[in-house]
């Protein structure tokens, strides 16, 4: 059975759709047999933990009224072992309370839809659709693509140790997230998000999973756009193979 980590390199893909060798995937751990993750060494709390939490609370407050989002992204996935680099770009859309779509425009196109209880990954190049279940409940994973858009701070702190690090640019705040629960962080051991200090919008995400490094640059963020419901209605040609693992 395929697991979410396989789809993850497509989507980051992750938002990571966050999703390997292709675009971005980023959303939730799929059910199915997987090797137990290696125990994470105890991470000393950052001396800037309090400041990081304060800024995350600011992000949370700012996004309380968000009902929908849209943005463009560019993604670079680097495999340090094989010195392989894959660049991709696309758009993503989010509609409250739990609909997410990412569309990759690259030499490895993909369409990804994420709903509260399942993920759909359509790969036009191989004419295949994978439908995977998403774990629910208090141990459900955190969508890294939405991590910068107001995920509740208390939920973040259940999964990550946080702290401030030096930002790449003036006028930005960089927060580093170290996973304490690899299942719930989708096997991302370390995440860094660069926010615009003035408006608390995410500008860049950096993700490490032990096998690859993914950088996602976000542009053209629109809050509460009027999104067509068709964006969240999965569709594909009749000759596509559908593998439903729910």
The Cα 210–Cα 5 span in angstroms is: 12
Q: Where are the alpha helices (DSSP H) in 16-48?
A: none
What is the value of pTM for the model shown? 0.74
Helix (H, G, I), strand (E, B) or coil at 60: helix
- Tokens 């068709």 locate to 230
pLDDT score, position 31: 38
The Cα 229–Cα 99 span in angstroms is: 10
pLDDT score, position 45: 72
pLDDT score, position 98: 82
The Cα 63–Cα 147 span in angstroms is: 11
Helix (H, G, I), strand (E, B) or coil at 82: coil
pLDDT (tens place) for every residue of the chain, 246 residues total: 333 333 444 444 443 333 222 233 333 333 344 444 455 555 567 789 999 999 999 988 888 888 899 999 998 989 877 788 888 899 999 998 889 999 998 777 999 998 888 999 999 999 999 999 887 656 665 655 556 666 788 888 989 999 999 998 999 999 999 999 888 887 889 999 999 998 888 899 999 988 899 999 999 989 899 999 999 999 999 999 999 998
Burial class from Cβ neighbours inside 10 Å (0-12, 13-18, 19+) for residue 124 reads middle
Distances (CA, A) of 64 to 68, 150, 196, 199: 11, 7, 18, 14
pLDDT score, position 136: 65
- Tokens 């993914």 locate to 214
pLDDT score, position 140: 61
CB proximity list for 42: less than 8 A, separation 6 or greater: none
Domains of the chain plus CATH, in order, are 4-30+46-244 (2.50.20.10)
pLDDT score, position 138: 61
The Cα 239–Cα 2 span in angstroms is: 21
CA dihedral 163, 197, 152, 17 (to 10 degrees): -90
Contact 232, 70 (CB under 8 A): no
């Amino acid at each position: 059975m395929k697991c979410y980590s396989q789809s993850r390199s497509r989507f980051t893909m992750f938002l990571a759709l966050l999703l390997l060798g292709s675009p971005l995937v980023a959303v939730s751990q799929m059910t199915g047999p997987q090797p137990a993750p290696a125990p994470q060494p105890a991470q000393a709390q950052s001396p800037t933990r309090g400041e990081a939490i304060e800024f995350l609370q600011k992000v949370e407050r700012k996004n309380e009224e968000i009902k929908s989002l849209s943005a463009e992204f560019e993604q670079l996935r680097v495999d340090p072992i094989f010195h392989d680099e894959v660049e991709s770009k696309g758009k993503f859309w989010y509609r409250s309370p739990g609909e997410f779509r990412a569309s990759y425009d690259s030499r490895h196109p993909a369409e990804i839809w994420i709903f509260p209880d399942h993920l759909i990954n359509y790969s036009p190049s191989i004419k295949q659709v994978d439908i995977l279940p998403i774990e629910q409940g208090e141990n459900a994973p955190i969508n890294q693509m939405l991590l910068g858009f107001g995920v509740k701070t208390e939920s973040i702190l259940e999964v990550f140790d946080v702290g401030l690090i030096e930002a790449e640019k003036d006028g930005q705040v960089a927060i580093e997230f170290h996973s304490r629960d690899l299942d719930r962080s989708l096997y991302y051991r370390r995440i860094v998000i660069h926010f615009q200090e003035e408006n608390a919008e995410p500008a860049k995400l950096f993700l490490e999973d032990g096998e690859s490094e993914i950088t996602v640059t976000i542009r053209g963020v629109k809050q509460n756009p009027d999104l067509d419901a068709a964006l969240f209605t999965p569709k594909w040609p009749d000759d596509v193979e559908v593998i439903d693992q729910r």
